[in-house]
Homo-oligomer: A and B are copies of this chain.
């Protein structure tokens, strides 16, 4: 007779229970009243008939408005026609709070209207589905690395040096130590971790103060970054494909209901199994040229290029060996061709673009010193990082996967703003 959650109703068939939550909807038919209660774990229909409950309880039907908080007591009945499979034969209704003029009505609202009310918008079925996919994806990501003996090395958010220029960094005063910058990546710290623990990952918020106003950009987003000692580019690609298979298949298996709510066609997601196709940057250019795109060697792919390339495959495609000039200073050069970095990008299908970026790292001290000079970076800021090459340097590799882009891809969303509880974009810092 205690309070239960809707997701537990299957264990209480025939019993009288209490449910607590908010009014999702209501309707009446003759002398019957239907109250749809949501409690965060599901939605269930409570049914009461005039004369079947006290007049006082029955009258509460009229008082209850959308999102009013209330409790229902009643007997759990299995009903295959009901959404969720159960119904409640109501014996009592108790009101916590009546909501007046809840702003998000069942009619269509503009996205900015909803985004301004994100704290309420999260109550909708669609946002529920996305958040539950996000949560399960995060758990799958952590499980994947935890189950393989990776050690979690949380990297710091506040970092001392503007490693790759300050233009896309958020800056803050840091006591008497000058400026601190919000991290763009935990990679350099993860590299230190890999030399200590063999294989590590970090997984936390990262920041880009980019003035990009696209459907793929957030200023604050989560990134998971594995880093493995004694791993080369091939090992990196193997890890990436096993990782993607694991996280996508886990979410498909465990969040099928949510993906149905989102009307996601999962055909291509089901293909996310290793081996993933591997093509070089040069082969990717060939694809573009065959499709009539003028593309010069040495340029980076734009969003449209990525879409054209990924459309040639039925699952994510791994593109490797990019021109060194467009990649970061810490990437190792291909011994076969010093113009090329041992980089790896993974492009998602269906126009979702780059979801993974990584590389084998430069493990040679002198090469790294030269690269730092060549990129006009302040060597002093990298002394600690250079220590990793001074004391027991080994081949090592890693990559980063952007969480929100991956949620967007799996859920089939048009815009990353729905992939995170409270999105931060160039023009949005609230609520």
A289 adjacent to chain B (CB < 8 Å): no
CB pair B388 A177 closer than 8 Å: no
Query: Beyond A139-B142, A153-B131, is A192–B119 a contact (Cβ under 8 Å)?
Result: yes
Which of A72-80, A120-128, A244-252, A307-315 forms part of the interface with chain B? A120-128
Could you tell me how many residues of chain A have their Cβ less than 8 Å away from some Cβ of chain B? 94
Q: How far is the CB of A147 from chain B (nearest CB, A)?
A: 11
Instruction: Please give, as numbers and ranges, the residues of chain B lying within 8 Å of A204 by CB-CB distance.
Output: 204-205
Interface string of A318-334 (1 = CB under 8 A from B): 00000000000000000
Other-chain residue from B119, B123, B195, B222 in contact with A123 (beta carbon distance below 8 A): B195
Interface residue ranges of A175-223 to B (CB < 8 Å)? 175-177, 180, 182, 189, 192-199, 204-205, 207, 209, 211, 219-220, 222
Instruction: Please give, as numbers and ranges, the residues of chain B lying within 8 Å of A430 by CB-CB distance.
Output: 160, 384
A429 adjacent to chain B (CB < 8 Å): yes
How many copies of this kind of chain does the complex include? Answer: 2
A5 adjacent to chain B (CB < 8 Å): yes
Interface string of A132-168 (1 = CB under 8 A from B): 1011001100100010010111111111100000000
Interface residue ranges of A102-138 to B (CB < 8 Å)? 102, 117-120, 122-123, 127-128, 131-132, 134-135, 138
CB pair B429 A177 closer than 8 Å: yes
Instruction: Please give, as numbers and ranges, the residues of chain B lying within 8 Å of A195 by CB-CB distance.
Output: 22, 123
Once the chains are docked, how many angstroms separate the CA of A427 from the CA of B175? 8
Interface residue ranges of A370-402 to B (CB < 8 Å)? 384-385, 387-388, 390-395
Instruction: Please give, as numbers and ranges, the residues of chain B lying within 8 Å of A198 by CB-CB distance.
Output: 5, 21, 39-41
Instruction: Please give, as numbers and ranges, the residues of chain B lying within 8 Å of A392 by CB-CB distance.
Output: 22-23, 67-69, 96-97, 99, 102
Which of A46-54, A265-273, A416-424 forms part of the interface with chain B? A416-424
Query: Beyond A119-B384, A220-B158, A230-B20, is A96–B394 a contact (Cβ under 8 Å)?
Result: yes
Can you name 13 A-B residue pairings with CB atoms under 8 Å?
A: A40-B151, A69-B392, A96-B394, A102-B392, A117-B387, A119-B384, A122-B192, A134-B152, A135-B152, A153-B421, A160-B429, A160-B431, A180-B429
